[in-house]
Structure 1
Amino acid sequence: MKFSTREDIEAPIETVFEALSDFSGFERWALRRGARIERLDGGTRTEAGARWQVEFDFRGKRREVTATVSRFEPPEGYRITSVSSGLEGETSVELVALAQDRTRLLFAQELRPTTLAARLMLQSLKLAKGSLEARLDKRIDDLARTIEKRRRAGRA
């Protein structure tokens, strides 16, 4: 099952990449929502090979995911692979400079089941794919507007 969206952002590609690769900020965001996160590779820099163990509640069950940065190429983008019991995933963030102050963000997430239980869970998500994609579009749009506001305020 694949979700994807794209968004044009009024900011230079370097500014957009910096905001979208702020993994410590994403960690804080997830912690505020009840997740538990542990950095597994012992590093502090974001680069290919960086790994996290993430635990969170989803559909009434505690889930564990190991996420690894499999590709990290500033300022063009990165890819994160994830593994949990029953599911494998890949998230890609691709950036294209449209002009000096305009960047296109291409975001995609693909989930592949490895067990029958995961296959059934993905089937139920497929029924709600339209609303899930609408929520993804809104979150990416909100993120893009936040990047633009920070840039105008001189914080990016």
Structure 2
Amino acid sequence: MAAPDIPRNTQWHEAYPAPMSKVDALPRQELLRWLREGKQAGRDFVLVDVRRNDFEGGTIRGSLNLPCQSLYPTRPALYTLLKSGGVENVIWYCGSCGGRGPRAAAWFADYLVEKRDSTMKSMILEGGIKGWAAAGPEYTELMDEYDASVWAKS
């Protein structure tokens, strides 16, 4: 599926349908607990970092980088991969989870509704990567390519 033409002065996401689903937020403390209990991203759940141009400063260990701008047309392939892997929880995040993360999570939740799949859950990481990085060393030690100087500017 080719990306639709986007008129000038239009936000990229306006080329796609507005998401209909409401998604839950997973508190970062809960994700930290999962990781400390030995649950592994990519096996027990999937973390998706939807940042594109601002993908710097590090990411939560085990995350996939799937920029939100490319998500909508790739939902069927992503769903097939996740379903075949037995994934039950997909956690999406962006900078602060105020725009792209919730949009991506809701688009994916809409697709789960289309597929009548009630076994997989799509949610956002409360506070996004900025909240994670600001929460202290117990969080940042679980980041790959962590760069404190990037977060000092935030």
Same fold per TM (> 0.5)?
no
Please tell me whether Structure 1 or Structure 2 has the larger radius of gyration of its CA atoms.
1
TM-score normalised by structure 2 residue count: 0.28
TM-score normalised by structure 1 residue count: 0.28
| Between structures 1 and 2, the one with greater strand share | 1
| Between structures 1 and 2, the one with greater helix share | 2
